[in-house]
Structure 1
Amino acid sequence: MERLNYIVEDSTIAELLGVENFTNKESAILELVKNAYDAHARKVTVTIKPLMIVIQDDGIGMDREIIKNNWMHVGKSNKGYKESQIGDERILAGSKGIGRFALARLGAYVVVKSRKRHSQPLRWETDWNESTLSDASEEDFYGTYIEISMLRDRWTETGIAKLVDYLSVTYKDDKMAIEIVSETNIYNVSHYYEKPQLGKNFVTDIKLIYKSESNTLECLVISDEFRQEAEKYCKDIDLRLYKKTVNCVEELYDDREIDFSKKELKEFLERVGDFNANLFFSLKSSTTKDYESFLYKYDKLNKRYDKGVVLYRNAFSLSSYDGKKDWLGFGKRSRKSPAAATHPSGAWRVRENQISGMVNIDKKNNANLKDLSNRQGLDENEFFVLFVKIIDVGVAIFERYRQDIIRNINKKNNISKAPKPAIIQDIIKTPSKVKDLSPEDVKSLAIELSTIEKESKTNREEKRTTEERYRYDVRILNVLATSGLKATSIAHELQNDRNSVSVNYNYIVKALKEYDFWEELNSLEYTEKSHKNVPQLLERNRSISEKILVFMDTMLDEVEKQKFATKDLSISDIMKVIKSNWVRDYASLNIDLKIDEDLRFETAEDIFPVIFDNLILNSIQQNEHQNKIDIKIFIDKKGDYLDVTYSDNGQGLPPKFIHDPMRILAVHETSRKKGHGLGMWIVNNTVQMTGGTIKNIDGIDGFKIYLELGDKL
């Protein structure tokens, strides 16, 4: 047997692993800076000239054995996890054994001079077709000196400044100084996020600590966004500090993008490893109106962080996660839920340009977050997906906290109707009176006109805000409406076949009996196998047909136009119909109504099935394995509102909602893998549409919700 080895041309390796492997010239420089760091350099200097780049470090250097056995061995690395020199311990950045080909990305000709202590200085040079190694006796230095010529890129002063900016974001250690020298300037690279200052670089600091052993995420929010005046509108909220710890198994188990059993999810979350993050939130700017309306402390930050969220593995960021790429998917999240923070039921999401910061992982502790071979990114495997989801959980905690504050402050912005302008009304009735106005009347007229102008401006703004809100609501409801229209269309078609659907079973059984087949078909011989058991199959079809008829009647009944009209209604009668429809279809369901027979209320009939069908459906879905589901509904009139209490005897809310039950009202919040998270959002929207409000939700020892229904439709 003959053993064979691949033979690859040097120029091909340089092209594939160098020129084509590095996304840009800056990432290639970063790779060589990482090499200097791994060599325990205290300082690396990158000198960029029009025709040459020189990179020099004072690290440990290379001897002949290292150059021959490691440098020239593609894919082999002598770098482990952590390495110590006297007074200097570093977690090494390299491990793949191909980073040296960053040289090929920068230039077509390279000379490397290197010297290790107590060793002969060496000179290695290549044109990527042939490489040579020789002694360099004239060199009196320790470390590595690299000359790159026949450059592949044009370097201008602007481009060099861009490199400095790039390195300031991608390097965050203080063990090695980085100096960039151009023909006109010397730049010292400092870490962009080195000294973050609240109120200067951002208004809110979101600290996340993930502990893999317990699958818990700790979220600490430190905020300086709002003025002290805002406290009187947020009496139960600390505007400066907010803490919350969540279990990520409970938070993520129902996520439809994750395909794990609970046991598998827990195991994979442990294998993600511990990590932490510091995210910095701030608005790019705010209008004068928003500044006053929401009591912001700052209208603009002069030194605002705007580099995005950077993923660091120890001392360096990963090139593809340097803040330019929206790797955490903020854009996707905000497009999915574009509601403003003031939206009473929609979930506000932080925008991509509103957040910056650092996520910190470790080469060893987070070993399942694997580098791609070019060290330019991560393998976006199942662990990476979970890693991003964990951060998403922390960001969502902040979003709910901030939206709660904004909603409370916004209550003060409700428009109060200005008094009717008496003089203007008088002039409209009798225009000739304008010439008889006294100086005091003229002054009053000017005040009235000014008031009208302000009111008009406020109304325009309110209209814009309302349009934005309903544009968001309509997008979601259109999806449901389209599905409903399709179902209604099918129901109309089935209506023509109603007689056949309802009586076919009886006709078939009767015919089989007349032909003397029925007794034989019921015999043991013909009923042994379920898929050939004709009576059983017919019975099953009969049961399914009944359900189809119920579906058809329900669909056609619920879209009747008259149900949307406002009128004086008997609440007891409406609720009895809802009860009978559900109890008819679900044998396990018991609904107890406590409603005065004489209770009447001015509203539209469609409001009640929208609210109670969603609540009852939730009770059934959350307790599908329960033999008996008891639901109690109490409705009473208090002033201009209907006071409603709804409860069931089920398992209550899932653990992730127990301590924040009002969260279930937000759009897309669900505890079921295939749930859409719209049911309770629709309930909340409908209640608010009537001028009412959901007062409280309790998910311990069954599910309970307390709400008020108004008459504003």
Structure 2
Amino acid sequence: MEKLKYIVEDSILAELLGVQNFSNKESAILELVKNAFDANALTLKIVIKKDSIEIVDDGCGMNRDDLAQNWMHIGKSSKGYEINGANGKKRVQAGSKGVGRFALARLGANVEVFSHKNACKSIAWITDWNYSTLEEVEDYSLIGTKMLITKLRDKWTEKTANNLAEYLGRTYCDDAMKIELFFGDKEIPINRVFEKPEKGVNFSSKITLTYCAEKKNLHCCVESDEFSEEAQKYCKNNIYSYSNDIDLKKEYSDTSFDEEVTNLDNLLMELGDFTAELYFGIDRVLTGDDERFLYKRKVLSNRYNYGIILYRNSFSISSYEGKKDWLGLGKRSRKSPAAATHPTGSWRVRENQISGVVNIDKKRNFYLQDLANRQGLDENNHYKLFVEIIHTGLAEFERYRQSLIRDINKKNKPEPKAEDSIIAKVVKNPETMKILTKDEEARFVDELEGLQKEQREYKKNIEDTEKRYKYDVRILNVLATSGLKATSIAHEMKNDRNKIDGNYEFIVKALKTYDMWEELCEPDNTKVAHLNVPELLKKNRDTGVKLLQFMDVMLEEVEKGQFIPEEYSIKELLDKVKVNWESDYAWININVEVNNQVRFTIPEDVITVIFDNLILNSIQQNEKRNRLEIEIEVTASADMLFVCYRDNGVGLPDKYKKNPMKILEPHETSRKKGHGLGMWIVNNTLNMSGGEVLDIISNIGFEIDFTIGGNL
């Protein structure tokens, strides 16, 4: 039996693995930079001329055997994980595929490679990608490797050489090897991005993420210099720093980021440790916002705008050099476009507001694998988990920053007008202007300036309100559309009410008329569930009863009168909610404690929306329990209801124990098929009424304390 091997023409290899395998000339140069780095070079010199490119390194070089057996062997690589650097510093080798040498073909049609390895003869390899020659030469002046590329495929100018310098500054993040770049005789400096980040100049907040695979823990640390010292007196959290540890096994235990993930525990371990250092900064503070939100500065003098770069050891990974939004931050912020001042919506950082580095390791993060064409990573489950963990860390920063801005924004509420206003007196009697004292004139000017400021604030508040309601409406429109569909079906069902309600009796009566009922009820005819006609009819009747209840509730809750504020007995409203739920769920008991005398002016739908969502949440979290006790206690003041809602269920999932307020964020859920909007709707409704959530406790069961105002 004859053994055969593929034979491929050199020119085809050069075309496929060189010209077509590198998306641009800069990435081809980078591949040769990596080769020099892996050859243990301390210095690499790149000289670009209009008709040639010369690349010279002082690395270990190659002899005849190296070139013939390794260089000319496609797909073979002698590179391992790590080598001892010439300067005593270990280097993680960048290459492994054995095809990087074809970057030369991407750059030019003719190539000459001269190399010298210690104690060996120098060699010269010359190719036009159709024919290649190799010879040993007597040249002892050369140390390392020199490559001369001619018949260039691209036009090089000083501008494109500068672009290369900027590209190498992004993609190379080590100081083990110095890179010198020349365009002709002119040296072009290569400045590494993020080399010396300066707070208040390049960024306003630094977010450090450290993932430990063994502990399945993400440590998040924020250092902030965004707000002035005065802001601290309004903020519950420290305005300068924040840190938190997240148990990712708990965080992702109930709600998988991907249905294909079958063993999250293994995936978290296999992913391996990694770190990230991200720099946040807004481009420019709008006029007036510096006072409203107590920003420390209006603009960052040299704000980072490089995007987020993914580095594997000393080099970035192709397609993840910051220009591509590989973390999907744009899509993420479009899904949740709330402003940071939004009282209930979740603010998301915009892709143009953040730059930084994510560091992975060739061995430790083995499962983050390159695509065959080297233009990115295989977006497998390990990669999806990797991105999700970074999103989780960003969400910690977003919650922290939004909490500061919300606290600061509370000071911007308009203060009540003084009764002895000079302006009010002048408006009432213009003649007063003529007899104002010096002190009153000064007060008059101050009040006018205050009015101008209020006008600006008012205009800003209108803009913020518009943004807020655009966000709220987007979410609620989805639910409203589903509700309208259900309401339409309920209206149709109303016409069939008599059929649904009476069909059971009519069928039983008919079967008795035809002398079939007694026989169908015989024990022998009821043994098999799907042939047990009496039981099937009974189940059908029970389902019909539930459908009628659903129809009644749907039609009742969308009646126009539900939305008109009236003075109600709170006890009567809550008893109505109690009866509706207990009739549908026999295993729950709702105890309402509120004085019969408590009356409050409020639209009925506000009470319904708040307590229906709370009760539904309790039911969904405790579906496996045989009995659920719910208690609702209400007390009242002149303009506010104080409510304590609690159940004796399983309480919050572990992921919310450290920060229970997190359940109020939109799309936050522990259920795989949940929409995560129920508690957000509760919080949003409370906020619009003028109330707020005071506390959430989940030591034993679940408890939420809140106020309801009368602003709706």
Superposed, 1:421-436 pairs within 5 Å as none
* Structure 2 counterpart of 1:45, one-letter code: K
Q: Distance in 2 between matches of 1:363 and 1:95?
A: 10
Q: Tell me, yes or no, if the aligned pair for 1:495 and 1:552 is still in contact at 8 Å.
A: yes
Q: Describe the shift of the 1:6–1:527 C-alpha distance in structure 2 as closer, same or farther (beyond 3 A).
A: farther
Q: How far off is 1:618 after superposition?
A: 0.4
Q: How far off is 1:19 after superposition?
A: 1.4
Q: Distance in 1 between matches of 2:155 and 2:508?
A: 87
SS at 1:93 equivalent = coil
Aligned to 1:694: 693
Q: How far off is 1:521 after superposition?
A: 2.4
Superposed CA RMSD in Å reads 2.2
Q: Distance in 1 between matches of 2:341 and 2:594?
A: 35
Aligned to 1:351: 350
* Residues 128-157 of structure 1: per-residue CA shift (max 9 Å, x gap): 222222223346212111111121212221
Q: Describe the shift of the 1:401–1:429 C-alpha distance in structure 2 as closer, same or farther (beyond 3 A).
A: closer
Aligned to 1:105: 106
* 1:641 paired to 2:640: yes
Q: Tell me, yes or no, if the aligned pair for 1:39 and 1:60 is still in contact at 8 Å.
A: yes
SS at 1:416 equivalent = coil
* 1:129 paired to 2:130: yes
Q: How far off is 1:376 after superposition?
A: 2.9
Q: Tell me, yes or no, if the aligned pair for 1:98 and 1:374 is still in contact at 8 Å.
A: no
SS at 2:625 equivalent = coil
Q: Distance in 2 between matches of 1:50 and 1:420?
A: 80
* Structure 1 counterpart of 2:666, one-letter code: V
Aligned to 2:706: 707
Q: Describe the shift of the 1:447–1:305 C-alpha distance in structure 2 as closer, same or farther (beyond 3 A).
A: closer
Q: How far off is 1:428 after superposition?
A: 7.3
* Structure 2 counterpart of 1:492, one-letter code: H
Q: Distance in 2 between matches of 1:46 and 1:522?
A: 94
Unaligned ranges ≥5, structure 2: none
Aligned to 1:512: 511
Aligned to 2:409: 410
SS at 1:606 equivalent = helix
* Structure 2 counterpart of 1:333, one-letter code: R
Q: Distance in 2 between matches of 1:460 and 1:43?
A: 60
Aligned to 1:32: 32
Identity, % of aligned positions: 52
Q: Distance in 2 between matches of 1:307 and 1:683?
A: 40
Aligned to 2:360: 361
* 1:91 paired to 2:92: yes
* 1:206 paired to 2:207: yes
Q: Distance in 1 between matches of 2:297 and 2:458?
A: 26
* Structure 1 counterpart of 2:127, one-letter code: T
Superposed, 1:324-343 pairs within 5 Å as 324-343=323-342
Superposed, 1:234-253 pairs within 5 Å as 234=235, 236-253=236-253
SS at 1:645 equivalent = strand
Total equivalences in the alignment: 710
Superposed, 1:150-549 pairs within 5 Å as 150-183=151-184, 185-234=186-235, 236-259=236-259, 264-418=263-417, 450-549=449-548
SS at 1:302 equivalent = coil
Q: Distance in 2 between matches of 1:167 and 1:219?
A: 29
Q: How far off is 1:191 after superposition?
A: 2.4
Q: Describe the shift of the 1:696–1:424 C-alpha distance in structure 2 as closer, same or farther (beyond 3 A).
A: closer
* Residues 94-149 of structure 1: per-residue CA shift (max 9 Å, x gap): 00111111111111221111111111211112222222222233462121111111
Q: How far off is 1:422 after superposition?
A: 7.4
Q: Describe the shift of the 1:455–1:419 C-alpha distance in structure 2 as closer, same or farther (beyond 3 A).
A: farther
* Structure 2 counterpart of 1:179, one-letter code: E
Q: How far off is 1:513 after superposition?
A: 1.9
Aligned to 2:50: 50
Q: Distance in 2 between matches of 1:48 and 1:336?
A: 46
SS at 2:32 equivalent = helix
Q: Distance in 2 between matches of 1:565 and 1:368?
A: 59
Q: How far off is 1:447 after superposition?
A: 6.4
TM-score for both structures, normalised by structure 2: 0.96
* Structure 2 counterpart of 1:99, one-letter code: G
Q: Distance in 1 between matches of 2:153 and 2:232?
A: 59
Q: Distance in 2 between matches of 1:563 and 1:110?
A: 81
Deviates more, 1:173-182 or 1:523-532: 523-532
Q: Describe the shift of the 1:437–1:131 C-alpha distance in structure 2 as closer, same or farther (beyond 3 A).
A: farther
Q: Distance in 2 between matches of 1:193 and 1:438?
A: 61
Deviates more, 1:142-151 or 1:701-710: 142-151
* Structure 2 counterpart of 1:187, one-letter code: I
Q: Distance in 2 between matches of 1:525 and 1:73?
A: 79
Aligned to 2:20: 20
Q: Distance in 2 between matches of 1:601 and 1:643?
A: 12
* 1:61 paired to 2:61: yes
Q: How far off is 1:410 after superposition?
A: 0.9
Q: Tell me, yes or no, if the aligned pair for 1:421 and 1:448 is still in contact at 8 Å.
A: no
Deviates more, 1:153-162 or 1:669-678: 153-162
SS at 2:288 equivalent = helix
* Structure 2 counterpart of 1:7, one-letter code: I
Q: Distance in 2 between matches of 1:155 and 1:710?
A: 69
Aligned to 1:575: 574
Q: How far off is 1:413 after superposition?
A: 1.2
Q: How far off is 1:550 after superposition?
A: 1.3
TM-score for both structures, normalised by structure 1: 0.95
Q: Distance in 2 between matches of 1:426 and 1:409?
A: 33
Q: Tell me, yes or no, if the aligned pair for 2:426 and 2:433 is still in contact at 8 Å.
A: no
Q: Describe the shift of the 1:255–1:708 C-alpha distance in structure 2 as closer, same or farther (beyond 3 A).
A: same
Q: Distance in 1 between matches of 2:257 and 2:449?
A: 55
Q: How far off is 1:188 after superposition?
A: 3.8
Q: Tell me, yes or no, if the aligned pair for 2:425 and 2:432 is still in contact at 8 Å.
A: no
Q: How far off is 1:333 after superposition?
A: 1.3
Q: Distance in 2 between matches of 1:558 and 1:301?
A: 52
Aligned to 2:679: 680
Unaligned ranges ≥5, structure 1: none
Q: How far off is 1:444 after superposition?
A: 7.9
SS at 1:288 equivalent = coil
Deviates more, 1:287-296 or 1:460-469: 287-296
Q: How far off is 1:659 after superposition?
A: 1.1
* Structure 1 counterpart of 2:113, one-letter code: V
* Structure 2 counterpart of 1:580, one-letter code: V
Q: Distance in 2 between matches of 1:486 and 1:421?
A: 56
Q: Distance in 1 between matches of 2:393 and 2:425?
A: 60
* Structure 1 counterpart of 2:152, one-letter code: L
Q: Distance in 2 between matches of 1:563 and 1:260?
A: 44
Deviates more, 1:58-67 or 1:436-445: 436-445
Q: Distance in 2 between matches of 1:476 and 1:184?
A: 61
Q: Tell me, yes or no, if the aligned pair for 1:424 and 1:448 is still in contact at 8 Å.
A: yes
